[in-house]
Amino acid sequence: MRKVTLIRGARQLLTLRGPSGPRRGTDLRNLGIIEDGAVLIADGVILEVGPTRRLENLALARGAEEIDVSGSVVLPGFVDSHVHVVRVAAQEQSPRALRTMALRVLDEAVPCGTTALEVKSGQALTEAAKLKILRVQAALGELPLTLVSTFLAEGGAAVFGERLLPAVRRRKLAQFAEMGRQAEACRFLTLARELGLGVKVGDGAIAMAAELGATAVDDVLDATERDAMLLSQSQTVATLSAVAGFDARDRRYAPARMLIEHGAAVALASGRDTDSPNMQMTVALACRAMHLTPAEAIAAATINGAHAMRRAGSIGSIEAGKSADLIVLGLADYRELPYHFGVNLANLVMIRGRVLAQKSEVQWPAR
């Protein structure tokens, strides 16, 4: 039997509807807001989006399960395109221990509104250890969320990266391959692309990203105006991590305003050094420290994150035909989000039409 759900009464429904490509420039501020908005969902897929009065009168909505979100802000689930779910030397841990560690990270991320992640394989000193991490990451794909795995060849993995690529592709252990500025990076990424993997580069390799047609440049920190111009002329997304800057001793942040003003597409992600991947905190820091507007930060953390993962056709915005990945925030206006630093504002997190996290209310004794 078809499961139909109607989310109704959103004070602000941020649909993020817009151009087909990554948002850049003034488009980054267009959230496609519907006041008193509603979303009609069937079997985990969005069917209709619009004003509550129109949607609640549709024939299919009359027998739907209703979720009243009056007075709240509803937006697409956050797309975190750079997460490390394994943070210790893999060769010292069993696959079961690594899975437990990864699930702990996801248990922190999802209640704060993250509904899609790109997980990067951590450092490993041997081929066996790297494959172990990738197998654990691939197995996480069975969970009811969007999860993309990236073979990150850094540290010890840079030595044996090319040898592992065919096996990684054959066993479907990753969808992307990534390497930074190492001398062998271009050869490694060219081989990955020939094998059918998407390619990404690290900070400082923006020119190589343009040459290879990379999907994203991760951990951008030291971008120049020339780099920004190269990005503005490509589909490559610059992924920024405000939380990584906050954690750093020197408090250095990416030049987000310069990148946006030059027309580069930017995404926000929690980043490699984050212990708690809270995308609400990422958005708040991006506004406070990197000078993004709340609208720009939300777009960068949703639809542009989806483009950085090549998943914008199914996630990242609230549109008919996309997965019903939504967050209900306990706010009257989305512009309040940066003012609540370190507080989880998500009253409800839905992935594929299923409520996976819900904030419980305090049950005060009768007086």
Helix (H) / strand (E) element for 306: namely helix 303-308
For residue 141, the SS3 value is helix
* Most confident stretch, 5-19, 87-101, 180-194, 239-253: 5-19
Question: What does the mean pLDDT of the chain come to?
Answer: 91
User: What pLDDT score does 87 carry?
Assistant: 67
Per-residue pLDDT, 91: 63
Question: Which residues fall within 8 angstroms of residue 245, CB to CB, at 6 or more apart?
Answer: 221, 251, 252, 253, 254, 285, 289, 290
Longest dimension (CA), the chain: 71
Q: What is the pLDDT of residues 138-185, one digit of tens each?
A: 999 999 999 999 999 877 777 888 999 999 999 999 999 998 777 788
* Mean local confidence (pLDDT), 86-95: 73
User: What burial class does residue 32 get, using C-beta atoms within 10 Å of its C-beta: 0-12 exposed, 13-18 middle, 19+ buried?
Assistant: middle
Q: Is residue 326 one of the residues assigned to a domain?
A: yes
pLDDT of residue 88: 62
Within a domain: 46: yes
122-142 confidence digits (pLDDT tens): 777 788 888 999 999 999 999
Domain extent, residue 41, equals 4-76+317-358
Predicted pLDDT at 154:
79
- Check: CB of residue 85 under 8 Å from CB of residue 119: yes
CA distance from start to end of the chain: 44
> Is the pLDDT assigned to residue 34 strictly greater than 90?
yes
**pLDDT tens-digit series, residues 263-305:** 999 999 998 655 668 999 999 999 999 999 999 999 999 999 9
Amino acid at 205: A
CB atoms within 10 A of CB 98: 23
Do residues 190 and 161 lie in contact, with contact meaning Cβ atoms separated by under 8 Å? no
Residue 18 resides in a domain = yes
Residue 157 lies in a domain: no
CA distances from 183 to 205, 215, 220 (A): 11, 20, 19
Evaluate whether residue 82 is within a structural domain: no
347 in Cβ contact with 72 (< 8 Å):
yes
pLDDT in tens, 312-348: 999 999 999 999 999 999 999 999 999 988 889 999 9
Taking alpha carbons only, the member of 210, 203, 201 closest to residue 241 is 203
pLDDT for position 191:
93
Distant-in-sequence, close-in-space partners of 27: CB < 8 Å, separation ≥ 6: 18, 19
DSSP string over 183-222: TTHHHHHHHHHHTT-EEEEETT-HHHHHHHT-SEEES--S
One-letter amino acid at 334 equals: Y
The answer to whether 44 and 324 are in contact (CB under 8 A) is: yes
> Is residue 309 one of the residues assigned to a domain?
no
Which residues pair with residue 357 across a beta bridge?
A: 349
**Residue range 56-73: average pLDDT?**
95
pTM for this entry = 0.94
Helix axes 185-194, 157-170, angle to 10 degrees: 0
Judged on CB neighbours under 10 Å (0-12, 13-18, 19+), 193 is: middle
In this structure, what token pair is assigned to residue 11? Answer: 């004070």
Tell me, what's the pLDDT at 77? 98
Domain at 44, CATH number: 2.30.40.10
Residues 6+ apart with CB under 8 A from 135: 95, 171, 173
**CA torsion sign, 6 to 7 to 10 to 16?**
negative
Higher-confidence residue of 114 and 343: namely 114
Distance CA 30, CA 28 (A): 6
* Burial category of 363 from C-beta neighbours within 10 Å (exposed 0-12, middle 13-18, buried 19 and up): exposed
Mean pLDDT of 82-96: 79
Q: Which residue has the higher pLDDT, 1 or 128?
A: 128
Tell me which DSSP letter residue 319 carries.
Answer: -
Task: Report the domain count for the chain.
Answer: 1
Check residue 359 and report its DSSP letter: P
76-85 tens-digit pLDDT: 999 999 998 8
CB 32 within 8 A of CB 18: yes
Higher per-residue pLDDT: 107 or 243: 107
One-letter amino acid of 247? D
Instruction: Please determine, for residue 251, whether its predicted confidence score (pLDDT) is greater than 90.
Output: no
